[in-house]
Chains A and B, each alone.
Chain A
Amino acid sequence: MEDHKIIELFWLRDEDAIHQSSQKYGRYCKSIALRILANAESSDECVNDTWLKAWNAIPPQHPSILRTFFGAITRNLSLNRVRDLSCEKRGGGQVVLVLDELTECMPNRSSPESILEDREITASIERWLETLAKEKRVVFICRYWHCDRVSDIASRMGWTESKTNSLLQRLRVSLKNHLELEGIL
């Protein structure tokens, strides 16, 4: 079923929307959850929760890219699960490593966390992504959105792990500088 029809089902509050979403994007979402959780059962739970979240989000939302909309929900649910269950061992510690790396870019701060602030941060990150060459942007997304292993990214890009780590390090510094420049930090 085409995406716009699935979205229409959500808007019509037709529960077939969930069935169609699961059929079309279930495997995709599960692959995202598995990368983060490395646990089939937990991944299935996150994917099932994804449809519920989507059900509550559409309407009013009208995603322009349904696949990544679902993917983002699954990713965030999976990250939350890692945190809530404190299951650092899951995912081979990959998620913990990813989160630790991101700490370099955004040290703790005391200002209130609001949805508005988060949107500003997201918008700032997008502006920074636009300044990057495509290859670097892809590496950043693979690591910090998909939580891919550095070795997997290196393999995909045809680089050494050392080169990939070096690039990631420079990207983190660059992001931190950008966030400082925009007054986020």
Chain B
Amino acid sequence: MMKQDRLAHCIGHIDGKYIEEAESYQKTNKRIWRVWGSVVACLCLLVVGAYTAFHPSPLDEAGNRILQWSPQFSAEDYFQYSDGENGGPLDFFSIAEAHYPYTESRSFSHKRQQLEAEKVLPVMAEHPLFDCTVNYLADGSLYSLTFSWHNQEQEYSDLRITAGYQEVEMMEDCVVFVDEDENGHRIAPAVTVTKRDGVNIVAEGSENTKKTITFQNSSGWYQIEGSWNDRYADMVDLLDWFWAHPIDFDRFPVEAGEVITDL
């Protein structure tokens, strides 16, 4: 085997999680994009806006586009129109990976046990790896925070929730990615919208793909992300948790976080 072939061969056998990561990675300013207004109040509105742009009437002729939540609602129900059969895939918008105007980030990863004990976070014993990063604006106020749980062993999992309470500012860069067909026509995104306690919950993704659940309630806006290998139920467990345990953002003052050193 030639020498360079050997290294290429070895790279070819690296763990699939790296390939998965590279394939699902996306920046915010790529592909075809549309600016949704000059200023949009928050991402949740943005996502719902994307939905309503393609479905001017929240209840279409079939009358089942916006689902009504009930206690019997299953995890699969949240994603029942998100499988792509009802439209093209929406190119996922990840708040966590977007470039927003925060100026400082601090880590609270070391406080996992405390946050679990105080029921800020669910106990997720099957996810040994945990990260909590909080982002602050120049005035020191909290802009967004991200909790992420990983399991990189046999049952790969990468769950994350990003949340905040302030209006998402400087939305000039806030874009929604849409697919276009060969004639340049937009393909409606495949999303499922569920109304729960008066709040619209937008779900995207399906089995074997990245998945997101986005919503805004009185406590703030939230986006839950799951990897291709995470189940609908994993996502909805997090949704239910933060529905019942809204984040108290005052728990994360900048001075309490650990300074993050750049790798």
Q: Which residues in A have some Cβ–Cβ distance to B below 8 Å?
A: 2-3, 63-65, 67-69, 71-72, 75-76, 79, 83, 98-100, 102-103, 105-109, 113, 118-119, 121-122, 125-126, 129, 131-135, 137-138, 141-142, 144-146, 155-158
Does B256 count as interface, using CB distance less than 8 angstroms?
Answer: no
Q: How far is the CA of A133 from the CA of B20 in the complex (A)?
A: 15
The CA of A103 and the CA of B5, in the complex, are separated in Å by 9
Residues of chain B within 8 A of A3, CB atoms compared: 208
| A63, A65, A129, A158 interface centre (most CB from chain B within 10 Å) | A65
Across the interface, which residues of B come within 8 angstroms of A99, CB to CB? Answer: 2, 4-5, 8
Main secondary structure of the interface of A (DSSP, over half): helix
> Would you call B229 an interface residue if the criterion is a C-beta within 8 Å of the partner chain's C-beta atoms?
yes
Stretch among B24-32, B63-71, B179-187 lining the A interface: B24-32
**B13–A141 CB distance below 8 A:** no
Inter-chain contact A63/B16, CB cutoff 8 Å = yes
- Residues on A with C-beta less than 8 A from B62 are none
Q: How far is the CA of A67 from the CA of B21 in the complex (A)?
A: 13
- Is the CB of B104 closer than 8 A to any CB of chain A? no
Q: Is the Cβ of A106 less than 8 Å from the Cβ of B208? A: no
Given known contacts A131-B263, A158-B27, A106 and B4 CB-to-CB distance under 8 angstroms: yes
Whether B156 is near chain A, meaning CB under 8 Å from some CB there, is yes
Q: How far is the CA of A118 from the CA of B154 in the complex (A)?
A: 21
* Set of chain A residues within 8 Å of B1, measured between Cβ atoms: 113
Residues of B within 8 A of A158 (CB): 27, 29-30
Q: Given A64-B154, A141-B18 in contact, is the A72-B12 Cβ separation under 8 Å?
A: yes
B251 at the A/B interface (Cβ < 8 Å)?
Answer: no
Which residues of A lie under 8 Å from residue B20 when comparing CB positions? Answer: 65, 67-68
Would A126 and B27 count as touching, CB distance under 8 A? Answer: no
